[in-house]
Amino acid sequence: MPFSDYKTALVTGASSGIGAAVVERLCKEGLQVHALARSGDKLKELAARTGCIPHAIDVSDLQGVTALTKEVDFDVLVNNAGVDRPGSILKADAEGIDLLVDVNLRAVLHLCRLVVPGMVARDNGHVVNISSIAAAYNFGGNSTYHATKAAVSMLSSQLRVDCFGKRVRVTEICPGRVATDIFAHVHGDSEETRKRFVEGYELPEASDIANAIAFAIAAPVAVNIGHMEITPTLQVPGGLSTAKPETVRA
């Protein structure tokens, strides 16, 4: 089991949801897990529960992230941190675009730049990128999010090429709707938000995503599980719509 080949892991967006579940699972596997997120209080609670090493650093803080990666050689990197500001490009603002690019894409690129060369040098490592079904399917109102997640998807494929000939594995996890608090972060923590996105639905839990990641890591070292799309059984991504023109020319 390759878990025994790995000693250290870095998980971003680790204070809640999928990130916290991944930290908990990897700690149970015996890894020294470094949990990175903005919320220091939540990280302290997570550390007390799991034994992880907390780092209250914004993933877009390049100086802070760089310093951490110079201190520790990470065998497993889980790029989980992500944000969303729903809205089509027709209504997007500069602040929202910059935020999503900084967190969802630029931080992932920098972490791969900082961590993966060490994996290649040691001929050992595993990168897990959490993208989204939004990387592959179009649905209304999330233009910038779609763009950043599609870029992470392509990066995940390209990393395999960059690391060719080395035992560095890359797994892209593409979740659909999952029962986490991301909806509260995006739409506000209200009863209406919970009813709209979570209550009454049969949804995967954060622990289900963590178990999928553990499955990919635990595969024999000769096996690279490159792409996993995880959606509710009752969710169908994509669709086809055709609109009539607003006016019919004579």
Contact 18, 36 (CB under 8 A): no
Q: What's the CATH code of the domain at 9?
A: 3.40.50.720
Answer yes or no: is 242 within a domain.
no
C-alpha to C-alpha distances, 70 to 38, 89, 118, 128, nearest whole angstrom: 20, 38, 10, 20
Q: How many domains does the chain have?
A: 1
DSSP state of 14: T
Answer yes or no: is 31 within a domain.
yes
DSSP state of 234: T
Answer yes or no: is 191 within a domain.
no
Give the structural domain span for 43: 2-178+206-230
pTM summary value: 0.92
Structure tokens at 178: 């999952």
Answer yes or no: is 245 within a domain.
no
Answer yes or no: is 217 within a domain.
yes
Answer yes or no: is 33 within a domain.
yes
Q: Which residues carry out catalysis?
A: 145
Phi, psi of 91 (to 5 degrees): -120, 10
User: What pLDDT tens digit does each residue of the chain (250 aa) get?
Assistant: 689 999 999 999 999 999 999 999 999 999 999 999 999 999 999 999 999 999 999 999 999 999 999 999 999 999 999 999 988 999 999 999 999 999 999 999 999 999 999 999 999 999 999 999 999 998 877 899 999 999 999 999 999 999 999 999 999 999 999 988 766 556 556 677 677 767 888 899 999 999 999 999 999 999 999 999 999 999 888 776 767 787 655 5
To the nearest 10°, the Cα dihedral for 87, 151, 3, 29?
A: -10
